């Protein structure tokens, strides 16, 4: 018997079930945008969307109307990252212990 093999089938099933749940959650995240809402200005602070791309900061003025949508898009991106991070850890563990049923991507 291999040392790093997970011996508890319940644990494997639980991990696979969690991966499937996370896959479903990915489909419900909604539109995403990497970056954040920042307030800039010396006298009157105004909302901008800030994105660092290729070592350059890009800003777009939001105003009061577009700020809530920009915040939602940014929050969706953070949710997406959290889901992907958890899936990565679970999939690494399953892969490490040869717990995949088949070599396909469906798991």
Per-residue pLDDT of 35-71, as tens digits, reads 999 999 999 999 999 999 999 999 999 999 999 999 9
The helix (run of H) or strand (run of E) holding residue 89 is: helix 63-96
The helix (run of H) or strand (run of E) holding residue 61 is: strand 56-61
Q: Please tell me the predicted confidence (pLDDT) of residue 9.
A: 80
What pTM value is reported for the model? 0.80
Q: What are phi and psi of 2, to 5 degrees?
A: -75, 150
- Which pairs count as long-range contacts for 37-40, CB under 8 Å and 24+ apart, including other chains? 37/62, 37/67, 37/70, 37/71, 37/74
Strands 46-53 and 36-40: antiparallel
Binning the chain into helix, strand and coil, the percentages to the nearest 5 are 50, 20, 35
Strands 56-61 and 36-40: unpaired
Over its C-alpha atoms, the chain yields an Rg (Å, rounded) of 20
Specify the residue for token string 């696979």: 16
pLDDT confidence of 1, banded at 50, 70, 90? very low
% of the chain beyond a pLDDT of 90: 73
Contact of 95 with 4, CB cutoff 8 Å: no
């Amino acid at each position: 018997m291999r040392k790093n093999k997970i011996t508890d089938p319940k644990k494997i099933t639980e991990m696979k079930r969690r991966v499937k749940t996370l896959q479903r959650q990915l489909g419900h995240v909604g539109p995403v945008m990497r970056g954040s809402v920042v307030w800039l200005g010396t006298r009157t602070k105004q909302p901008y969307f800030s994105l660092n791309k290729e070592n350059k900061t890009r800003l777009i003025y939001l105003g009061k109307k577009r700020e809530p949508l920009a915040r939602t898009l940014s929050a969706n991106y953070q949710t997406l990252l959290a889901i992907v991070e958890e899936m990565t850890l679970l999939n690494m563990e399953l892969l490490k212990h040869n717990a995949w049923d088949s070599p396909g991507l469906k798991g």
